[in-house]
């Protein structure tokens, strides 16, 4: 048993259970409490969350919901539940101590200490006072300023149209009909072996709750038969993040480099602005503005300035996480036939299933219109792309000390329909992905 847990067990014993009572006539609530007392925290959380849908104003329910959320590592959810209690009953010292525990787990040590000091100011029993002071001392000794996490994956894909080859073999141009030839003229299948590594580091700025965040990604994909499409990608971004209430404002400098086959394909530099807002534990949003300068060493006509704006919302509805997104993009290329405006939308849903599995499904639509006709055509290109897919994730292992550290198997399927006013850009594609992911 950890030092912190021992301290808080002693604190909670001293405070007793005066602020929490049982509503045995409510099945979801009583079942959730029983499961919590039996140490079945995930099952307890699920039942209490269901009860919350019917009785969001029940303070005792919110207390146990917060406790269960804490035990399974959902610290933000725990804080939301305890906040609802303090809004109605701001003098609940036991709840303030639970808030301190949750904030300490999130690395918000100053906030955790503040809640402890508020309880000390009420002159609690001597034993409680001593335990709180020990907890504060422990926080100050172990205060963390660096946070590191990441993801490592390895897998295999199957793609039935690796070149995005058109559905027809002959296209109509300003010089007449042309029969397509070459490797990309026919639909080609191939296996793709890929791996990726993503690292995220956050440094808490001294004497503040703000951060400097850095992310880096490495990705490699090797085709079984078509080495010309092999991909090596490296990307990184870094910059400050400011926390203000339920808002997080971020600014990132970014760069990307892509090799295609054995040739340098693209470099880009730019920055992005981020705003994350948490309405509550069940409803969050992200808005992002990105500006990039793209360089194509072997195709200068595609060199471009790109600007994009996106907005995504995530919300929980009856145990289903639903994501809805919108995006607008403008690319100004040196050659106008490569300049475009693009608009997109997407929706996805995910749900926890039996046996530590999560299922997901999604749909996305994208519309693109190009500024000038290509050299062989008398009209500007307009594309409509639809994609639909589904996925299944199975947790193979999860750390008891850190629920965010997991190993999982993932299986995804996606089908793409691409329509265009120019036949050369019309195609269909199926993609199957199978990979092992380790999150740490």
Contact at 8 Å (CB) between 350 and 360? yes
Neighbours of 103 (CB within 10 A): 23
Contact at 8 Å (CB) between 69 and 36? no
- Domain total of the chain: 2
Residues 6+ apart with CB under 8 A from 224: 190, 191, 192, 193
Start-to-end C-alpha separation, the chain: 22
Query: Do 168 and 117 share a domain, yes or no?
Result: no
Residues 6+ apart with CB under 8 A from 134: 7
DSSP run (H or E) holding 62: helix 59-71
Query: Do 58 and 196 share a domain, yes or no?
Result: no
Q: Among the three residues 142, 166, 194, which one is the final residue of a domain in this structure? A: 142
Query: Do 270 and 379 share a domain, yes or no?
Result: yes
Query: Do 99 and 167 share a domain, yes or no?
Result: no
Q: Using only C-alpha atoms, what is the Rg of the chain? A: 27
Contact at 8 Å (CB) between 258 and 298? no
Query: Do 133 and 162 share a domain, yes or no?
Result: no
Query: Do 128 and 25 share a domain, yes or no?
Result: yes
**Within 13 Å of residue 96, how many CA atoms lie on the same side as its CB?**
19
The CATH code of the domain that includes 285 is 2.40.160.60
Query: Do 87 and 156 share a domain, yes or no?
Result: no
φ/ψ (deg, to 5) at 133: -65, -35
pTM: 0.69
Neighbours of 79 (CB within 10 A): 23
Query: How far is 212 from 201, CA to CA, in rounded Å?
Result: 8
Report residue 284 as tokens: 């969050």
Query: How far is 95 from 91, CA to CA, in rounded Å?
Result: 9
Domain that includes residue 246, residue range: 146-439
* String of DSSP letters for 260-275: ETTEEEEEEEEEEEEE
Query: Do 298 and 316 share a domain, yes or no?
Result: yes
Residues 6+ apart with CB under 8 A from 231: 219, 220, 221, 258, 259, 260
The residue ranges of the chain whose pLDDT is under 50 are 1, 6, 10, 12-13, 16-25
The CATH code of the domain that includes 12 is 1.25.40.10
- Confidence (pLDDT) at 376: 87
**Within 13 Å of residue 243, how many CA atoms lie on the same side as its CB?**
15
Report residue 40 as tokens: 């079945």
Phi-psi domain of 245 (left: phi exceeds 0; alpha: psi -120 through 50; beta: other): left
Residues 6+ apart with CB under 8 A from 382: 367, 368, 369, 370, 420, 421
Query: Do 150 and 133 share a domain, yes or no?
Result: no
- Confidence (pLDDT) at 410: 99
Contact at 8 Å (CB) between 214 and 201? yes
Residues 6+ apart with CB under 8 A from 266: 256, 257, 258, 294, 295, 296
Q: Among the three residues 100, 115, 142, which one is the final residue of a domain in this structure? A: 142
Q: What is Dmax (Cα atoms) for the chain?
A: 93
Q: Which residues pair with 429 in a beta bridge?
A: 416
Query: Do 65 and 154 share a domain, yes or no?
Result: no
Query: Do 230 and 137 share a domain, yes or no?
Result: no
Q: Among the three residues 142, 157, 183, which one is the final residue of a domain in this structure? A: 142
Query: Do 323 and 311 share a domain, yes or no?
Result: yes
């Amino acid at each position: 048993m950890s030092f912190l847990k021992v301290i808080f067990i002693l604190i909670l014993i001293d405070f007793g259970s005066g602020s929490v009572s049982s509503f045995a006539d409510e099945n979801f609530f009583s079942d959730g409490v029983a499961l919590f007392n039996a140490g079945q925290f995930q099952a307890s959380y699920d039942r209490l969350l269901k009860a919350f849908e019917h009785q969001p104003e029940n303070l005792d329910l919110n207390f146990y919901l917060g406790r269960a959320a804490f035990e399974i590592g959902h610290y933000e959810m725990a804080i939301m539940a305890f906040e609802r209690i303090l809004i109605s009953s701001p003098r609940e010292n036991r709840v303030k101590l639970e808030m301190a525990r949750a904030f300490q787990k999130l690395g918000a040590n100053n906030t955790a200490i503040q809640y402890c000091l508020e309880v000390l100011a009420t002159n609690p029993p001597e034993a409680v006072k001593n335990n709180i002071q020990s907890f504060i001392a422990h926080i100050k000794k172990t205060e963390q300023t660096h946070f590191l996490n990441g993801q490592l994956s390895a897998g295999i894909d199957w793609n039935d149209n690796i070149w995005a080859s058109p559905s027809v073999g002959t296209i109509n141009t300003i010089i007449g009909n042309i029969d397509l030839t070459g490797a990309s003229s026919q639909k080609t299948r191939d296996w793709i072996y890929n791996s990726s590594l993503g690292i995220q580091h956050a440094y808490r700025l001294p004497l503040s709750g703000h951060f400097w965040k850095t992310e880096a990604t490495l990705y490699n994909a090797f085709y079984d038969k078509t080495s010309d499409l092999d991909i090596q990608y490296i990307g990184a971004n870094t910059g400050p993040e400011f926390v203000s209430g339920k808002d997080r404002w971020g600014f990132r400098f970014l760069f990307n480099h892509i090799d295609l086959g054995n040739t340098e394909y693209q470099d880009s530099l730019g920055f992005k602005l981020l705003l994350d807002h948490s309405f509550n534990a069940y409803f969050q949003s992200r808005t992002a503005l990105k500006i990039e300068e793209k360089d194509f060493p072997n195709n200068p006509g595609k060199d471009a300035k790109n600007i994009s704006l996106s907005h995504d919302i995530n919300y929980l509805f009856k145990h289903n996480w639903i994501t809805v997104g919108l995006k607008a993009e403008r690319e100004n290329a040196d050659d106008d036939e490569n300049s475009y405006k693009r608009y997109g939308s997407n929706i996805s849903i995910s749900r926890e299933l039996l046996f530590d599995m999560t299922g997901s499904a999604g749909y996305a639509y994208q519309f693109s219109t190009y500024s000038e006709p290509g050299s062989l055509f008398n009209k500007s290109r307009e594309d409509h792309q639809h994609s639909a897919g589904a996925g299944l994730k199975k947790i193979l292992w999860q750390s008891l000390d850190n629920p965010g550290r997991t190993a999982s198997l993932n299986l995804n399927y996606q089908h793409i329909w691409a329509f265009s006013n120019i036949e050369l850009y019309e195609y269909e594609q199926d993609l199957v992905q199978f990979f092992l992911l380790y999150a740490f």
